[in-house]
């Protein structure tokens, strides 16, 4: 009885813990943003004029660029995982670095948007549209930051002694999260900027 049956990892579903757990967590994340979208629908129907007028004050060009930046980061994230799975350390490092760069780029552009709004004396308490706008994009930005932190950790690890290839599943799980963050933005962008 050197090793016990119960101490060996077991994946009854055939999906490893991290991936399964992340899917369940993402399900709960969808519900988190659903709350905001629900509130958005209710408040928009109550204040349709305010919402239309305010939405036109948002900068569509900047937001479109930002969308492109974030989608690019999703692509490079997937490429980074692929590279690590194949054992190509330098490619993994490069793609992960581009992902981090894009993520910071997204945050930078978002901050610029926020700063412009504050410059025009537009704050979350200005009206219900901007309350939803700042809350939804703010929580999305928090999720972006939540993704950047493990990415930097992984990049640091791979710079020091190479990221172990057999741990590529961690990159995959982070990738799942990152695609979700991207997807939330894909919903936020038309909802806040385009439909009015």
Partner 1 sequence: MEAVLSTEKHALAGGHAHSESFIRHYIFSTDHKMIAKQFMFTAIFFLFIGGAFALFIRWQLAYPGQPIPLIGKLLPSTWVNGQGAVTAEWYTQLLTMHGTIMIFAVIIPLLVGTFGNFAIPLMIGADDMAFPFLNMVSFWLFPLAGIIMMSGFFMEGGMAAAGWTSYPPLSAIASTGQTLWIVALFLIGFSSILGGVNYITTILNMRAPGMKMFDMPMTVWAVFITAIIITIGTPVLASALSMLFMDNFLSTSFFMPAHLTVATRDMSRTAGGGQPLLWQHLFWFYSHPAVYIMILPGMGVVSDVLATFSRKPLYGYKAMVFAIIAIAFLGIIVWGHHMFQSGMNPLLGTTFMVSTMVIAVPSAIKTFNWLGTMWRGKMEFVTPMLNAVAFVSMFVIGGLSGIFMASTPVDVFIHDTYFIVGHIHYVLFGGSLFAIFAGLHYWFPKMSGRMYNERLGKLHFWITFISFNCTFFPMHILGIGGMMRRIYDPTVYDFLKPFQPMNEFITISAIVLGFAQFILVYNLLHSWFYGKKAKRNPWRANTLEWQAPSPPPHGNFDTELRVYRGPYEYSSPDSVQDYLPQTVSPEELQEQNERHRQRLAQQEHAQPVA
Question: Which of these segments, 60-68, 123-131, 166-174, 188-196, binds partner 1 (CB under 8 A)?
Answer: 123-131
Exactly one of 76, 86, 107, 131 binds partner 1 (CB under 8 A); that residue is 131
For partner 1, the binding residue among 104, 139, 187, 196 (CB under 8 A) is 139
Angle between helices 17-46 and 168-189 (to 10 degrees): 10
x/- mask, partner 1, residues 6-35, rule CB under 8 A, reads xx--xxxx-xxx--xx--xx-xxx-xxxxx
Q: How far apart are CA 181 and CA 195, in angstroms?
A: 21
Site string (34-63) toward partner 1, x via CB under 8 A: xxx-xx--xx--xx--x-------------
Q: Which of 60, 62, 78, 135 binds partner 1 (CB under 8 A)?
A: 135
Q: Helices 89-119 & 128-161, crossing angle to 10 degrees?
A: 150
User: Under the criterion CB under 8 A, does residue 126 sit at the interface with partner 1?
Assistant: yes
Binding site for partner 1 (CB under 8 A): 1, 4-7, 10-13, 15-17, 20-21, 24-25, 27-29, 31-36, 38-39, 42-43, 46-47, 50, 124-128, 131-132, 135, 139
């Amino acid at each position: 009885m050197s090793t016990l049956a119960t101490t060996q990892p077991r994946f009854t579903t055939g999906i490893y813990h991290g991936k399964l757990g992340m899917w369940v967590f993402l399900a709960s994340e969808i519900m988190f943003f659903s709350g905001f979208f629900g509130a958005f629908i209710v408040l928009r129907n109550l204040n349709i004029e305010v919402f239309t007028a305010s939405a036109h004050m948002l900068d569509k060009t900047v937001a479109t660029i930002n969308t492109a930046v974030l989608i690019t980061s999703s692509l490079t994230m997937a490429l980074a995982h692929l590279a690590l799975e194949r054992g190509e350390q330098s490619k993994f490092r490069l793609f992960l670095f581009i992902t981090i760069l894009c993520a910071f780029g997204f945050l930078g552009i978002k901050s610029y948007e926020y700063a412009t709004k504050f410059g025009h004396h537009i704050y979350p308490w200005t009206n219900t549209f901007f309350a939803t706008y700042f809350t939804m994009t703010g929580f999305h930005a928090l999720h972006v930051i939540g993704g950047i932190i493990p990415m930097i950790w992984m990049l640091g690890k791979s710079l020091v002694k190479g990221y172990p290839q057999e741990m590529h599943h961690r990159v995959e799980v982070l990738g799942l999260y990152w695609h979700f963050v991207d997807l939330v933005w894909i919903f936020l962008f038309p909802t806040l900027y385009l439909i009015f």
